[in-house]
Chain A
Amino acid sequence: MTATGVYVYAIVPTGEPLPRKAVGVGDPPAELRLISEGPVTAVVSDAPPNLRARRRDLMAHQDLLMRLTDTGPVLPMRFGMVAADEATVLRELAGSREGHLASLRHLTDGVEINLKALPAQDALAVVVAEEHQVRRLRDEVRRRPGYEASVRLGEAVAAALSRRASEAGKKILRTLTPMARAVAAGPEVHGCALNVSFLIDRHDSDRFRIAAQSFADSHRAHVELRIAGPLPCYSFVPSRPARATAAGT
């Protein structure tokens, strides 16, 4: 098994216990273990053969990180990070110790909350009512039905939905940013007008969620908001903390 490498889930402060009955990726789920180097510890398991981003393993990765986040600061690894062997992990921990400690301090008592703004597709009737251009094209289609007219109408609907979501997205970003320790734009998601993560004090996360939800409720005709979290701080870890030469390759 070890021939396929060491799957690395997270870096935590040394002394953090593993969550009870927590398991790793793979089928059967891999047994977790800790590799400590002074004050920093990597949570790892054997990497299963033929590892890929299947649903089961994504869930396992996410679940473990969620549970670790419950008990202390965590530097969550991106899914699928595999070290050649334990020695490589140890060298990495030793070589980047100060950076990891600083990152852990930065994230102490912090959680990530992700917000996605999607076009409010359920509000089609409101769009027809409120958007002059859509209204006009719809009347045109009714007078003279046809392929071209339908495409123009549909395009106008899609554009209006996107614009409304984008405007509402900017508004909620302005509303919520003052409540966050940090804000990070997420990867572009097709169809999302906004994908942004907030670093929130753990004890503030309920208040933040309520504020976001209340905005969502009052802007349903413009935007569909997806609020996810509290999450491990995926978006607030340095993506290149290691010294590139640490492996001596």
Chain B
Amino acid sequence: MTTMYADEIAPCPPRAGTLYDVLELILDRGMVIDVFVRVSLVGIEILKIDARIVIASVDTYLRFAEACNRLDLERDSGSRTIPELFGAGAAKSVGKRKVRKAAESVGDSVRKAVGGGDDDDSDGQEEQHERPRKRRAPARDSSSRRRRAEA
């Protein structure tokens, strides 16, 4: 059972490096020295860093409900018993895909907020992507996030 789960999770591995998983530590922990100035983080939604978190909203509820219903459909079409259904990889992945999709838009918007890299796994390419995109869409980086670090 455990092994099967692990295999299923494989298509969505942890992101390259640990940046997303520890972003809030880099931004909210670490030493602060009073006489130094801190870059402003206004507008950065650092707390929604994960693409798969549960969002308590009606929209998410509806998607969860839909995912549950998919599980039901699976049972009807397959004429399986409930224990078989819950042990079946197919049923799980249907529900899982749904849920993951539900949260994707959140992760996407955050990725933009954190600097535009749309490909989490290729850090090397990110810098080449970042600048051209900014030039094309300067409006996204509203002045709320562009502030200076001068004393």
Contacts and interface: CB of A to CB of B under 8 A. Distances in A.
Contacts of B135: none
A77 B49 contact: no
A102 interface: no
B31 A241 contact: yes
A78 B65 contact: no
A150 B31 contact: no
Contacts, number: 279
Nearest to B37: A82
A53 B27 contact: yes
A179 interface: no
Interface in B95-138: 95-96, 99-100, 103, 114-117, 123, 126-127, 130-131
Contacts of B53: 118-119, 189-192
A94 B32 CA distance: 16
Nearest to B14: A226
Interface in B20-75: 21-41, 44, 46-50, 52-56, 58, 60-69, 71-72
Contacts of B33: 8, 77, 81, 83, 92, 96, 241-242
B139 interface: no
Given A124-B96, A125-B91, A158-B61, A218 B2 contact: yes
Interface residues of A, number: 93
A57 B69 CA distance: 44
Interface of B: 2, 5-6, 8-9, 14, 17-19, 21-41, 44, 46-50, 52-56, 58, 60-69, 71-72, 82, 85-86, 91-92, 95-96, 99-100, 103, 114-117, 123, 126-127, 130-131, 145-151
Interface of A: 3-5, 7-8, 11, 27, 47, 49-59, 61-62, 75-84, 88, 91-92, 96, 112, 114, 116, 118-119, 121-122, 124-126, 128-129, 134, 138, 141-142, 147, 149-151, 153-155, 157-158, 161-162, 186-192, 195, 197, 217-218, 220, 224, 226, 228-229, 231-232, 234-235, 237-244, 246-247, 249
Given A53-B41, A118-B50, 12 more contacts: A3-B150, A47-B149, A51-B149, A52-B146, A54-B130, A56-B115, A80-B149, A121-B103, A158-B54, A187-B24, A190-B55, A241-B31
Which 10 pairs show the lowest CB-CB distances between chains A and B? A191-B53, A154-B61, A80-B39, A55-B115, A54-B115, A78-B30, A247-B35, A154-B64, A150-B65, A84-B151
